[in-house]
């Protein structure tokens, strides 16, 4: 596609439910990033994929969070047993993925998650 696409754009869920967030990166981009941004805060790194593998999962806040990427394209971020502190905007970005030049990352519009 022309840009990074995320769905849903908004999600309201009850505490304790599982949610799945989707990211469709720019075609040809091998690197994919998930970030979380709470109100008025900076970007918190969650996980990074190079192709289908995740070399860096160190940002996942707890074992309730998991992510996968299949076919080197679409990625899903799953949050199990959601808690109110999970409420935030979840941003996905993709890039060509090579260190050095041409590594600009482009963001989707985000999924605003509200846990009630």
Using CB under 8 A, list all residues that contact other proteins: 31, 33, 35, 41-43, 45, 48, 50, 55-56, 91, 93, 95, 97, 99-101, 103-110
Instruction: Please say which residue, 73 or 95, places its beta carbon nearer to other proteins.
Output: 95
Instruction: Please say which residue, 66 or 109, places its beta carbon nearer to other proteins.
Output: 109
Q: How far is the CB of 55 from other proteins (least distance, A)?
A: 5
Asked whether 3 and 62 are in contact (CB, 8 A), the reply is no
Q: Rounded distance, CA 105 to CA 29, Å?
A: 9
Instruction: Please say which residue, 25 or 97, places its beta carbon nearer to other proteins.
Output: 97
Q: Rounded distance, CA 2 to CA 23, Å?
A: 13
Q: Rounded distance, CA 58 to CA 40, Å?
A: 23
């Amino acid at each position: 596609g022309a840009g990074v696409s995320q769905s849903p754009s908004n999600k309201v869920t009850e505490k304790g439910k599982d949610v799945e967030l989707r990211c469709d990166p720019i075609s040809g981009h091998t690197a994919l990033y998930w970030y979380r941004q709470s109100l008025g805060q900076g970007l918190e790194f969650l996980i990074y994929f190079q192709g289908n593998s995740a070399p860096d999962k160190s940002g996942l806040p707890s074992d309730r969070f998991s992510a996968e990427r299949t076919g080197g394209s679409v990625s899903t971020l799953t949050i199990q047993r959601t808690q109110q502190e999970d409420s935030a905007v979840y941003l996905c970005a993709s890039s060509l993925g090579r260190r050095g030049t041409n590594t600009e990352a482009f963001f989707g519009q985000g999924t605003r998650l509200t846990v009630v």
